[in-house]
């Protein structure tokens, strides 16, 4: 159906409902984006250990949060939801830049955040000893790449990845980076050194100072308590193997931004 | 500093389904480009410079500026050359979200499961076979009775998935199943896509892909 101005605004006016989990950084991304766009939405908290029939119906493929329902239509996958918000509300505070090449860069680094940095941070959280040391090195390598882009690459001279205002990459990286301080506290490991990653550090500080962000990210005490519980469980499971870690009870893969054991398929990957 | 090369160049590897997505998108839009075959065992300076983070193909260079990751490249082609038809992504926001969802699903699932199918043995292979069938059935269901994943028009999801149709034969042989039998709509869709110039021109015959997997197995010392 061709999008006329009339049915466009009708569509935009339809109610929004977000299914999420309070500790899920993927959920926070959507909450933050909705707030940045000034959009009202209803919120339904999901117990990840006991998912509602409604959630399973709305996201049958992955059965995960977040899912955004707009005018009765379900949208899963946070980065897809964020781009949807831009497509459906293009005039209000765009998350993606206008230029095609800049958009490709934003998407590239969002994918990097979810495919590389997130799992590396998760690996730090789920391991101890030498394994953890290796995971920490991986996190530092990943952060160094981002720092380099801020220093003299694609994002040099910018206050935020989006420029003067936050954009898609800020939301994606930011809603997850607050876990770094929490994990540092819980594991006793140094992840974001202000000396080693000064630009990343100052970006995160500016990001976390924004009103909409402060409204979205849970209190640090709650996050710490939650993280301590998950770490305790993960270390207990480390001996029990993969099966327990993939159970539906409060899966670490869904709550902290991918606090999952390193991908088992990594060693059989064939790159072409 | 040398002047950046004008126009489009694609750093690619002949049998890569990810690279083929880009070739198909470029041909659909009628965009001329220079194809640069890469040696993945001995990566070129150009590749390493263009994709320093992942050091992988495909990479699209547009006036010397690199765009990496196949689905990001396809979207870039669609957006940078928005004036050229066909539009690979639909106009409607919800339809776009659905297209991104299914292309992402293909990305998350198909290649990795396929690799496990030919690389592993015994129970692990059985598990991979079971998963591959689930994945193909899910995609068959998403396609439904539509001509293409986007409906009447060949689009983003079709571009994302069609290169893997050249791998169906291999999945069938290793998994001991028939796509035609298990997912008839998908099989019909594959045939339909194969009739398009952009697809026919850029996919290798399934037997060639099967042969390539044989070469990989030897390389990894797998029986």
In a shared domain, residues B101 and B150: yes
Report chain B residues whose CB lies below 8 A from the CB of A87. 93, 96-97
* Rounded Cα–Cα distance for residues A248 and A255 (Å): 12
In a shared domain, residues B32 and B111: no
Query: Side-chain half-sphere of B95: how many Cα atoms within 13 Å?
Result: 16
Which pair of structure tokens corresponds to residue B179? 């796509």
Residues of B numbered 138-177 whose beta carbons fall under 8 angstroms of chain A's beta carbons: which are they?
138
- What domain range includes position B170? 93-220
- For chains A and B, CB pairs below 8 A equal 80
Name the CA dihedral angle for A114, B132, B136, A112, rounded to a multiple of 10 degrees.
Answer: 10
Q: Give the number of domains in chain B.
A: 2
pLDDT at residue A254, as a whole number: 43
Using CB atoms, which residue from A70, A111, A270 is nearest to B115?
A270
Assign a CATH topology to domain A100-216: Glutathione S-transferase Yfyf (Class Pi); Chain A, domain 2 (1.20.1050)
Which one, of B170, B159, B167, B171, lies nearest residue B199 by Cα?
B159
Domain boundaries, chain A: 10-88, 100-216
In a shared domain, residues B57 and B105: no
Q: Do A101 and B16 touch (CB under 8 A)?
A: no
pLDDT digits (tens, 9 = 90+) for B57-75: 999 999 999 999 999 999 9
Q: Do B116 and A88 touch (CB under 8 A)?
A: no
Name the CA dihedral angle for B163, B165, B169, B171, rounded to a multiple of 10 degrees.
Answer: 80
Exposed/middle/buried for residue B198 (C-beta within 10 Å: 0-12, 13-18, 19+): buried
Three-state SS annotation for A46-104: CCCCCCCHHHHHHCCCCCCCCEEEECCEEEECHHHHHHHHHHHCCCCCCCCCCCHHHHH
Average pLDDT of A87-93?
A: 95
**Residue B2 covered by a domain:** no
Name the minimum distance, in Å, from the CA of A107 to any CA of chain B: 7
In a shared domain, residues B32 and B108: no
In a shared domain, residues B211 and B111: yes
Report chain B residues whose CB lies below 8 A from the CB of A101. 62, 65, 67, 76, 80
Buried b / exposed e along B175-188 (16+ C-beta atoms within 10 A):
bebebeebbeebbe
In a shared domain, residues B55 and B107: no
Q: Do A270 and B40 touch (CB under 8 A)?
A: no
Report chain B residues whose CB lies below 8 A from the CB of A1. 92
Report chain A residues whose CB lies below 8 A from the CB of B79. 100, 103
**Residue B61 covered by a domain:** yes
**Residue B87 covered by a domain:** no
Give the rounded distance of the alpha carbon of B120 from its chain centre: 22
The reply to whether domains A10-88 and A100-216 share a CATH topology is no
pLDDT at residue A32, as a whole number: 98
In a shared domain, residues B191 and B110: yes
In a shared domain, residues B77 and B116: no
Residue A251's CB is within 10 A of a number of other CB atoms, namely 16
Q: Do B72 and A111 touch (CB under 8 A)?
A: yes
A241 pLDDT above the threshold of 60: no
Exposed/middle/buried for residue B39 (C-beta within 10 Å: 0-12, 13-18, 19+): exposed
φ, ψ of residue A92 to 5 degrees: the values are -90, 115
* Rounded Cα–Cα distance for residues B156 and B50 (Å): 24
Last residue of a domain, one of B51, B81, B111: B81
Residue in A closest to B81 by C-alpha: A100
In a shared domain, residues B140 and B114: yes
Name the minimum distance, in Å, from the CA of B192 to any CA of chain A: 25
**Residue B178 covered by a domain:** yes
Q: Is CATH 3.40.50.1000 correct for A10-88?
A: no
pLDDT digits (tens, 9 = 90+) for B74-111: 999 999 999 999 999 999 999 999 999 999 999 999 99
Using CB atoms, which residue from B40, B69, B100 is nearest to A271?
B40
Report chain A residues whose CB lies below 8 A from the CB of B101. 76-77, 80
Which residue of A100, A114, A117 to mutate against B (max B Cβ within 10 Å)? A100
Last residue of a domain, one of B42, B60, B81: B81
Say which residue the tokens 């028939």 belong to. B178
Q: Is B164 left (phi over 0), alpha (psi -120 to 50) or beta?
A: alpha
- Looking at every residue in chain A, the average pLDDT score rounds to 88
* Rounded Cα–Cα distance for residues A185 and A208 (Å): 18
Average pLDDT of A179-189?
A: 91
Which CATH number covers residue B127?
1.20.1050.10
* Whether B109 contacts chain A with CB within 8 A: no
3-state DSSP: chain A helix, strand, coil percent, rounded to 5?
Answer: 55, 5, 35
Report chain A residues whose CB lies below 8 A from the CB of B15. 272
Look up the ipTM and state it.
0.96
* Rounded Cα–Cα distance for residues A91 and B149 (Å): 29
pLDDT at residue A238, as a whole number: 65
**Of B51 and A239, the one with more pLDDT:** B51
Provide, rounded to the nearest whole percent, the portion of chain A with pLDDT above 90.
77
Average pLDDT of A104-130?
A: 95
pLDDT digits (tens, 9 = 90+) for B160-218: 999 999 999 999 999 999 999 999 999 999 999 999 999 999 999 999 999 999 999 99
Q: Do B101 and A77 touch (CB under 8 A)?
A: yes
Strands (E) in B83-150, as ranges, are none
Cβ(B99)–Cβ(B89) below 8 Å:
yes
Cβ(A137)–Cβ(A176) below 8 Å:
no
pLDDT band at A149 (very low <50, low <70, confident <90, very high): very high
* Whether B21 contacts chain A with CB within 8 A: no
Cβ(B104)–Cβ(B10) below 8 Å:
no
Which CATH number covers residue B39?
3.40.30.10
Q: How many residues does chain A have?
A: 272
A124 pLDDT above the threshold of 80: yes
Residue B66's CB is within 10 A of a number of other CB atoms, namely 21
Last residue of a domain, one of B81, B106, B138: B81
């Amino acid at each position: 159906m061709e999008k006329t101005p009339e049915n466009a605004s009708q569509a935009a006016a339809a109610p929004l409902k977000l299914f999420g989990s309070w500790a899920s950084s993927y959920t926070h991304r959507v909450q933050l984006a909705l707030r940045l766009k000034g959009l009202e939405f209803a919120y339904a908290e999901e117990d990840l250990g006991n998912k509602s029939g409604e959630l399973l119906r709305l996201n049958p493929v992955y059965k995960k949060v977040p899912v955004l329902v707009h005018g009765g239509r379900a949208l899963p996958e946070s980065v897809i939801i964020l781009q949807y918000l831009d497509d459906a509300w293009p005039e209000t505070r765009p998350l993606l830049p206008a230029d095609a090449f800049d958009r490709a860069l934003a998407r590239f680094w969002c994918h990097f955040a979810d495919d590389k940095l997130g799992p590396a941070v998760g690996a730090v959280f789920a391991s101890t000893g030498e394994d953890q040391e290796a995971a920490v090195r991986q996190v530092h390598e990943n952060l160094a790449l981002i720092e380099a882009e801020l220093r003299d690459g694609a994002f040099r001279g910018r206050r935020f990845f989006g420029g003067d205002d936050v954009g898609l990459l800020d939301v994606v990286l930011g809603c997850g980076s607050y876990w770094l301080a929490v994990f540092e506290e819980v594991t006793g490991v140094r992840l974001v050194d202000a000396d080693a990653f000064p630009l990343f550090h100052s970006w995160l500080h500016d990001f976390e100072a924004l009103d909409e962000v402060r409204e979205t990210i849970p209190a640090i005490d709650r996050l710490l308590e939650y993280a301590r519980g998950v770490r305790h469980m993960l270390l207990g499971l480390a001996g029990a193997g993969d099966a327990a870690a993939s159970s539906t009870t409060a899966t670490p893969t869904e709550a902290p931004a991918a606090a999952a054991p390193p991908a088992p398929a990594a060693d059989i990957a064939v790159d072409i | 500093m040398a002047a950046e090369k004008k126009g489009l160049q694609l750093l690619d590897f002949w049998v890569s389904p990810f690279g083929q997505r880009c070739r198909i998108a470029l041909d659909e839009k009628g965009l001329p480009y220079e194809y640069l075959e890469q040696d993945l065992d001995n990566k070129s300076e150009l590749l390493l410079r263009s994709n320093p983070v992942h050091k992988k193909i495909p990479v699209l260079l547009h006036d010397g500026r690199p765009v990496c990751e196949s689905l990001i490249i396809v979207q870039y082609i669609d957006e940078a050359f928005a004036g050229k038809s066909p539009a690979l992504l639909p106009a409607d926001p919800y339809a776009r979200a659905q297209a991104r969802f299914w292309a992402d699903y293909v990305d998350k699932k198909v290649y990795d499961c396929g690799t496990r199918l030919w690389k592993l043995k015994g129970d692990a292979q059985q598990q991979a076979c079971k998963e591959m069938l689930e994945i193909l059935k899910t995609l068959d269901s998403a396609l439904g009775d539509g001509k293409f994943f986007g409906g009447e028009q060949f689009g983003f999801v079709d571009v994302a998935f069609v290169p893997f149709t050249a791998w169906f034969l291999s999945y069938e042989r290793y998994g001991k199943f028939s796509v035609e039998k298990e997912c008839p709509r998908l099989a019909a869709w594959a045939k339909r896509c194969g009739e398009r110039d952009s697809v026919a021109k850029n996919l290798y015959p399934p037997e060639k892909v099967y042969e390539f997997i044989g070469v990989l197995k030897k390389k990894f010392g797998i029986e």
